[in-house]
């Protein structure tokens, strides 16, 4: 058995039928030119044959003393891969619309806690000849960065590499002496030390953030249509944009790429809320996850900090919005980077504490939201990637909607593109796909504001999952 960390346990404790706590991803692949009609069947059989499964993909919650759950992990010794990896086919006419409907249903269903907490679906039947892979894994097992690393291990930069690899494969043992797994007692001691470290850090933050008023805190977010109780059904939307457009705005404005992304999202959300006649006077606040994982960190678990940033949705002018977003992020990062890792975690816990309390006690859901939504930029690959010769056209990360947080935006770079995945409560966020158009309009507005060509990406070049092959992650 292995002790479940407090952060990982939170995702188990907060889960219910209305609140699935898994992260997912939708990948679109272009088969190699010489692929025959049996390509997908053979690929599936090759994947099923990969039986050397890493411990992370064998975990499920155990029960202590006959009934105490969510404290330790058990490891499945007889993993049924045919249960976890499934073949699916789209109904006619096999458009991306049908793919997204299937993905929405899969993303809204719970994982079975009596089995290891993950599933993968190989989806065929797209009318443009491509195939898709939808994978979901419980957030108690991985964070966004570790999930992306696992995905990356199964892919190759060589289009002629036909060795079939899978994310759940056990890593090769590193050279040199391996460190023994910490005992249950040592893990408990480490957790206690983490709690004790919160006190000094809280005092520091009070002085640095409150007295000097440098910090965006979880007390200023307005209530919006995103900050309501949600149901269990989900809707997903996805689209890609050339990364060169973001880089041009970044260089012209002297900001970071993430600043451009946040300003683009701020403009899109402003337009969407205006359309819904629900734009608040105060700016929306986004929670921006920050990876605390170093290169030597193991693949599983959660090592994520949380910053809050203004999206400047109260500003109509794109240039002013970008300036305010960049300033907000700069102030918060200046405070964050001065802290050691333990205190960074304490600050992150403080930022999300109102949301965590609402998970424990739904009665607290009427309180003001700590932030309006999560916008997460997960590092991907800068090179084209292939799986058994099939080119990765689109890699759309899909995260979690929560009570009081009815929509989530997650993105990742994929070669020359930024791939956006949007997840929303099917009941609370009407016409989620319309936000994709607003994102395009907002990016074009930023290009105009910094003196670049503000011409929208033509439909023939836009990397969207809306209609055709050429518009879906080409």
Distance CA 7, CA 381 (A): 27
CB atoms within 10 A of CB 428: 18
Q: What angle do CA 366, 372, 378 make, to 5 degrees?
A: 135
Is 438 an annotated catalytic residue?
Answer: no
β-bridge pairing 373-381 and 407-414 = parallel
Task: Read off the DSSP letter of residue 147.
Answer: H
Do the beta carbons of residue 421 and residue 26 sit within 8 Å?
yes
Do the beta carbons of residue 326 and residue 255 sit within 8 Å?
yes
Q: How far is CA 299 from the centre of its chain?
A: 16
Distance CA 415, CA 412 (A): 10
To the nearest 10°, report the CA torsion of 416, 253, 348, 399: -30
Cα–Cα separations (whole angstroms), residue 188 to 51, 201, 348: 32, 21, 21
For residue 85, what are the β-bridge partners?
120
Burial status of residue 147 (CB atoms within 10 A of its CB: 0-12, 13-18, 19 or more)? buried
**What end-to-end distance do the CA atoms of the chain give, in Å?**
45
Which residues 6+ apart lie within 8 Å of 122 measured at CB?
40, 43, 44, 47, 85, 86, 87, 88, 131, 132, 133
Distance CA 330, CA 83 (A): 46
Annotated catalytic residue within 19, 107, 121, 139:
139
Which residues 6+ apart lie within 8 Å of 290 measured at CB?
304, 305, 306, 307, 336, 344, 348
Closest to 227 measured CA to CA, from 20, 431, 371:
371
Please state the φ and ψ torsions of residue 135, each to the nearest 5 degrees.
Answer: -130, 140
Q: 358: which 2 tokens?
A: 């609402």
Catalytic residues: 139
């Amino acid at each position: 058995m292995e002790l479940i960390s407090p952060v990982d346990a939170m995702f188990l404790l907060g889960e219910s039928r209305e609140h699935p706590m898994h992260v997912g991803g939708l990948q679109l692949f272009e088969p190699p030119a010489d692929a025959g009609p049996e390509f997908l069947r053979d690929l599936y059989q090759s994947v099923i044959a990969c039986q050397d499964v890493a411990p992370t993909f064998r975990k499920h919650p155990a029960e202590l003393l006959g009934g105490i759950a969510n404290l330790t992990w058990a490891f499945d010794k007889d993993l049924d891969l045919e249960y976890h990896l499934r073949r699916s086919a789209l109904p006619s006419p096999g458009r991306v619309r049908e793919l997204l409907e299937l993905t929405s249903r899969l993303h809204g269903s719970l994982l079975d806690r009596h089995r290891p907490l993950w599933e993968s679906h190989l989806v065929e039947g797209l009318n443009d000849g491509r195939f898709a892979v939808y994978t979901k894994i419980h957030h108690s097992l991985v964070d966004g960065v570790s999930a992306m690393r696992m995905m990356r291990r199964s892919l190759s930069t060589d289009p002629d590499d036909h060795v079939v690899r899978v994310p759940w494969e056990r890593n090769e043992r590193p050279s040199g002496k391996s460190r023994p797994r910490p005992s249950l007692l040592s893990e408990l001691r480490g957790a206690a030390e983490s709690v004790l470290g919160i006190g000094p850090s809280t005092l520091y933050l009070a002085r640095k953030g409150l007295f000097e008023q440098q910090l965006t805190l979880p007390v200023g977010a307005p209530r919006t249509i995103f900050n309501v109780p949600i149901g269990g059904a989900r809707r997903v939307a996805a689209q890609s944009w050339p990364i060169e457009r973001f880089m041009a705005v970044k260089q012209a404005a002297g900001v970071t790429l993430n600043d451009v992304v946040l300003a683009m999202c701020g403009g899109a959300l402003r337009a969407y809320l205006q359309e819904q006649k629900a734009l608040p006077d105060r700016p929306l606040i986004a929670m921006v996850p920050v990876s605390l994982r170093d290169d030597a960190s193991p693949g599983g678990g959660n090592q994520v900090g949380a910053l809050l940033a203004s999206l400047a949705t109260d500003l109509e002018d794109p240039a002013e919005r970008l300036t305010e977003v960049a300033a907000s992020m700069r102030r918060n990062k200046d405070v964050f980077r001065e802290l050691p890792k333990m205190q960074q975690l304490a600050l992150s816990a403080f930022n999300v504490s109102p949301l965590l309390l609402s998970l424990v006690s739904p009665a607290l859901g009427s309180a003001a939201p700590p932030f309006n939504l999560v916008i997460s930029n997960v590092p991907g690959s800068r090179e084209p990637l292939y799986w058994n010769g099939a080119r990765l056209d689109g890699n759309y990360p899909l995260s979690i909607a929560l009570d009081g947080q009815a929509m989530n935006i997650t993105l990742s770079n994929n070669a020359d593109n930024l791939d956006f995945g949007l997840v929303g409560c099917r009941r609370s966020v009407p016409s989620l796909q319309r936000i994709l158009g607003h994102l395009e309009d907002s990016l074009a507005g930023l290009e105009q504001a910094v003196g670049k060509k503000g011409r929208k990406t033509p439909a023939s070049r836009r990397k969207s999952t809306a209609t055709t092959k050429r518009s879906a992650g080409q």
